[in-house]
Copies of this chain bind each other. A is one copy, B any other.
């Protein structure tokens, strides 16, 4: 008999635990797998042999797990090199682990690829499968990533509320949203728009470099027309010289172990933009919020569609691993709009590993300050539906006496 390990890596999402539940439930149906171990804190837990027995979870715990945000097994930012991978394989051999399910982004797909290649070389019978997750929606091959729909729902609900707030007390509002290189999540800010003058009125994405003067002119244009303006800005927007605004603002930048600049967890970009508007446009009421980690870990606000797909990706990984030596689970869209539907397929680890996807051109407007109807058609079904609201300020007035 063989054992299996499942783990979670990188930044948490709102449905990464649903994928874990999918793995647990499907492994339970497979006769070829004896034990299912959960590695605590991803690859770092594997090398430390820090495992729990996932088959001992109660049904109650599993139900709660599927609804819990963040990575219940803990996560890690470690990016294994050859030496690290060798240690992982040693542990796997010691514990008779022949199946490895790794829920994560493109770095995790790469880790699967490295370990799998090394296992092949040494003739160890081993199968590594990657289960996609990311709030950024930036993985290749798959139509979209589990985790994105829930984060998109959070951002859309936030902007619905924030736009109504801005109607009640008009001014200029800047919201800085997650998205290092891909603008999908920032684009999701528009998904709740219903009325013609609903905000956000301007959306700035990492895919479209912009100069501060153009930004200010855009904001001024909307403000002069509507008397208010709501702006969604990706944390990763850059200037026309390709340097991110946040890099320009910050003198020193903390970099994570993958050599990425830390963009989340600071209000510097939002405050900078608000101050630019206050000083250059002479508008008094300017506010700026940075949504930060709320976008990826918020309890009680999953997209049902996203959760179900995340769970199915976990199940599919186990099913695919019964027939294939390795792979990554991908989603194919088979219907859209009210008839939204998907199916799942296996793709090569190398096709997902270490690469990222950006917003395609047809999702971004020609001005580079908004998204298109094609993007809304793509992203809206993933949220599982959004709340409908009412604003009375546009209703007809009674005749004056």
Q: Which residues of A contact B (CB under 8 A)?
A: 8, 11-12, 14, 17, 37-38, 40-41, 49-54, 57, 61, 64-65, 67-77, 94-95, 157-158, 160-162, 164-165, 167-169, 173, 192, 254, 264-268, 270-271, 274, 284, 286-294, 296-301, 386-393, 395-398, 400-401
Contact = CB atoms under 8 A, between A and B. Distances in A.
A294 B289 contact: yes
A69 B265 contact: no
B289 A265 contact: yes
Contacts of A284: 254
Given A11-B169, A392-B72, A299 B52 contact: no
B51 A397 contact: yes
Contact of A74 (B14, B65, B167, B289): B167
Given A72-B391, A267-B270, 17 more contacts: A14-B161, A40-B392, A52-B395, A61-B390, A68-B389, A72-B392, A74-B169, A75-B169, A157-B299, A157-B300, A158-B298, A158-B299, A161-B294, A162-B294, A266-B270, A266-B288, A294-B294
Contacts of A173: 293
Given A70-B164, A74-B167, A165-B293, A389 B268 contact: no
Nearest to A294: B158
Which label, helix, strand, loop or mixed, suits the secondary structure of the A interface? loop
A394 to B, nearest CB: 9
A365 to B, nearest CB: 24
A333 to B, nearest CB: 25
A303 B60 CA distance: 24
B274 A271 contact: no
25 contacts: A12-B165, A14-B161, A17-B390, A49-B401, A50-B397, A51-B398, A52-B392, A54-B392, A61-B390, A68-B389, A68-B390, A69-B160, A69-B164, A70-B161, A71-B164, A72-B392, A161-B293, A162-B297, A164-B297, A173-B293, A265-B288, A266-B271, A287-B292, A289-B291, A289-B292
B72 A390 contact: yes
Contact of A300 (B51, B265, B301): B301
Contact of A287 (B14, B77, B293): B293
A299 B192 contact: yes
A296 B77 contact: no
A42 B389 CA distance: 20
Contact of A271 (B64, B65, B192, B268): B268
Contact of A73 (B53, B77, B157, B393): B393
A40 B392 CA distance: 8
A211 to B, nearest CB: 23
A65 B387 CA distance: 11
A41 B293 CA distance: 33
A165 B297 contact: yes
A396 B37 CA distance: 12
A157 B271 CA distance: 26
